[in-house]
Structure 1
Amino acid sequence: MSFDAMMRLTEVMLALAILQAVVEHIWVGRDRALFASRVLACVWLLTGVYSGFAVGGLWLTSLVLLHRFGGPYNGGADKMTMLITTCLGAAHLFPSWADLAMAYLAVQLVLSYFVSGYVKLVNPEWRSGQALVDVFRFSAYPVSERLRGWADRPRLLWLMSWSVIGFEVIFPLTLLNPISLLAGMVVAATFHLTNACLFGLNRFFWIWLCAYPSLIWLQDRLFG
Structure 2
Amino acid sequence: MISLIETNQLVLLILSIGLFISTMEYIKKIEIFSSKGLLSWNVMQLRWETKDQHSFFSPLFKLFNEKGLIVIFGLRCLIIFALLFFPLESIYGWILVGLLGGSLLASSMITFYGSDGSDQMNMLIIITLFLCHFPLGTGSRLETIGLWFIALQTCLSYTVAGIAKLASAEWRASTAIKDVFSTKTYGSQWAALLMKKYPGLNVFLCWNVMIMETLFPLCLILPFNYALIFIIWGFLFHLFTAIIMGLNSFFWAFMAAYPALFFVNHQIQSYLY
TM-score (norm 1): 0.90
Q: Secondary structure at the match of 2:186?
A: coil
Q: Partner of 1:145 in structure 2?
A: 189
Q: Partner of 1:128 in structure 2?
A: 173
Task: Please say which structure displays the higher CA radius of gyration.
Answer: 2
Establish whether residue 77 from structure 1 lines up as the match of residue 110 from structure 2: no
Q: Secondary structure at the match of 1:69?
A: helix
Q: Partner of 2:95 in structure 1?
A: 53
> Which has more helix, going by share of residues?
1
User: Following TM superposition, by how much is the alpha carbon of 1:137 offset from its aligned partner in structure 2, in angstroms?
Assistant: 2.8
Q: Partner of 1:112 in structure 2?
A: 157
Q: Partner of 1:41 in structure 2?
A: 79
Q: Distance in 1 between matches of 2:226 and 2:104?
A: 34
Q: Distance in 2 between matches of 1:27 and 1:14?
A: 20
User: Following TM superposition, by how much is the alpha carbon of 1:210 offset from its aligned partner in structure 2, in angstroms?
Assistant: 0.7
User: Following TM superposition, by how much is the alpha carbon of 1:55 offset from its aligned partner in structure 2, in angstroms?
Assistant: 0.8
Query: What does 1:195-214 correspond to in 2, within 5 Å?
Result: 195-214=241-260
Are the counterparts in 1 of residues 219 and 265 from structure 2 also a CA contact under 8 Å? no
Cα 1:221–1:84 shift into 2, 3 Å: same
Q: Distance in 1 between matches of 2:203 and 2:210?
A: 11
Letter of the 1:126 partner, please give it: W
The CA deviation string for residues 13-71 of structure 1, in whole angstroms up to 9 with x for no partner, is 22222112212333441421111111011111121242111110111111112212235
Q: Distance in 1 between matches of 2:25 and 2:170?
A: 37
- Determine which of 209, 223, 229 is the counterpart of 1:164: 209
Identity of aligned residues (%): 30
Establish whether residue 88 from structure 1 lines up as the match of residue 89 from structure 2: no
Are the counterparts in 1 of residues 161 and 213 from structure 2 also a CA contact under 8 Å? yes
Q: Secondary structure at the match of 1:179?
A: helix
Cα 1:198–1:48 shift into 2, 3 Å: same
User: Following TM superposition, by how much is the alpha carbon of 1:191 offset from its aligned partner in structure 2, in angstroms?
Assistant: 0.4
Q: Partner of 2:148 in structure 1?
A: 103
Q: Secondary structure at the match of 1:47?
A: coil
User: Following TM superposition, by how much is the alpha carbon of 1:187 offset from its aligned partner in structure 2, in angstroms?
Assistant: 0.9
Q: Distance in 2 between matches of 1:13 and 1:137?
A: 31
Are the counterparts in 1 of residues 170 and 176 from structure 2 also a CA contact under 8 Å? yes
The runs of 5 or more residues in structure 2 that have no matched partner are 31-65
The CA deviation string for residues 193-216 of structure 1, in whole angstroms up to 9 with x for no partner, is 111111111111112111111111
Q: Partner of 2:14 in structure 1?
A: 13
The runs of 5 or more residues in structure 1 that have no matched partner are none
Q: Distance in 2 between matches of 1:131 and 1:9?
A: 35
Task: Give every structure 1 segment of 4 or more consecutive aligned residues whose post-TM-superposition deviation is greater than 6 Å.
Answer: none
Cα RMSD after superposing both structures:
1.9
Are the counterparts in 2 of residues 19 and 39 from structure 1 also a CA contact under 8 Å? yes
Query: What is the aligned residue count?
Result: 222
Q: Distance in 1 between matches of 2:118 and 2:223?
A: 28
Q: Distance in 2 between matches of 1:66 and 1:28?
A: 16
